[in-house]
Amino acid sequence: MESEIDLVYMVAGMSSRFGGKIKQFAEVGPNGEKLIEYSIKQALLSGFSRIVFIVGEMTEKPFKKFFGSKYLGVPVEYALQLFDPKERDKPWGTVDALCSIKNIVKNPFVICNGDDIYGENGFRMIINHLKGNKEDAVVGYKLINVLPEIGSVNRGIFKLDKENYVLEIKEMFNISKYNLGENNLSQDNFANMNLIGMHPETINLLHANLVNFKEIYKGDRNKECLIPTEITKLIQAKKIRMKIYPSQDKWSGITNPEDAELVRRSIK
């Protein structure tokens, strides 16, 4: 029997920059498809066996109402990321989100952002990798292709060895198409857009890191435990290996309300 692979979307957050609306529900497809639907339809072409949404208190009901327990014939489940508003202004970050699936996902899985369009090939490369071996994997996008025309963004930049295994994912802040040189970056650097294939054992390792992180930053209302940082720690401790697959697909995503129109144009 062919191994089953789960498809996991991080959709717990409500975006203040998107007017407090659920940006994954922005209608961007040629037939009015929501952003998250368009992404799922691309992904399901690769043969995922289940969809898991990591939801928050504000997104749980809308997602359950729209997707229910099945979408396009594929079973759907939900994991809830919670935080204590007495102690925190926001959740503990993407590692905390990922660890909310710890008792739900027992198969290899692909985790990704719910507000990005990745292209079909990225999902296909990762799922083929996971069916073939026990190492983790990630899709890398050319940096120049994931920078906005106007303004700056933060991006995780890969440092790789000669065999295309990840050595480090370094977060770079406020980079744009016009300041690459001064940041010692090239337009051909590969950037992380959180399209990552993992095994359940990696969740256990990340959970141990998260427990430690929460102890260190107990009392901090905003500090977040982030997947690229913690993945780098696991790689450098030789606890996991992660292969990178360069994508030729076009990436697009939504941060601000005006981005929805840009995504609509990019996928026509």
The CATH number of whichever domain residue 192 belongs to comes to 3.90.550.10
Look at residue 21 in the predicted model and tell me its pLDDT: 76
**For residue 237, is pLDDT > 60?**
yes
Look at residue 20 in the predicted model and tell me its pLDDT: 67
- Does 220 reside within a domain? yes
Q: Please give the average per-residue pLDDT across 49-73, as a whole number.
A: 96
- Does 126 reside within a domain? yes
Closest C-alpha among 230, 250, 265 to residue 141 = 250
Q: Please give the average per-residue pLDDT across 8-26, as a whole number.
A: 79
SS3 sequence of 62-116? HHHHHHCCEECCEEEEEEECCCCCCCCCCCCCHHHHHHCCCCCCCCCEEEEECCE
Between CA 191 and CA 129 the distance in angstroms is 19
Structural domain total, the chain: 1
- Does 206 reside within a domain? yes
By percentage, how much of the chain surpasses pLDDT 90?
79
Look at residue 1 in the predicted model and tell me its pLDDT: 35
Q: How confident is the model at residue 27 (pLDDT cuts 50, 70, 90)?
A: confident
- Does 34 reside within a domain? yes
Whether pTM > 0.85 for this model: the answer is yes
Residue 60 and residue 78 in contact, taking contact as beta carbons nearer than 8 Å: yes
What are the tens digits of pLDDT across the range 87-130? 999 999 999 999 999 999 999 999 999 999 999 999 999 999 99
- Sorted by sequence, the CB contacts under 8 Å of residue 131 that are 6+ apart come out as 2, 3, 5, 108
Containing domain of residue 261, as a range? 6-266
Mean pLDDT of the chain: 92
Closest C-alpha among 182, 166, 162, 165 to residue 174 = 182
What is residue 133's DSSP assignment? -
Element containing residue 209 per DSSP (H, E): helix 200-216
- Does 1 reside within a domain? no
- Does 110 reside within a domain? yes
- Does 10 reside within a domain? yes
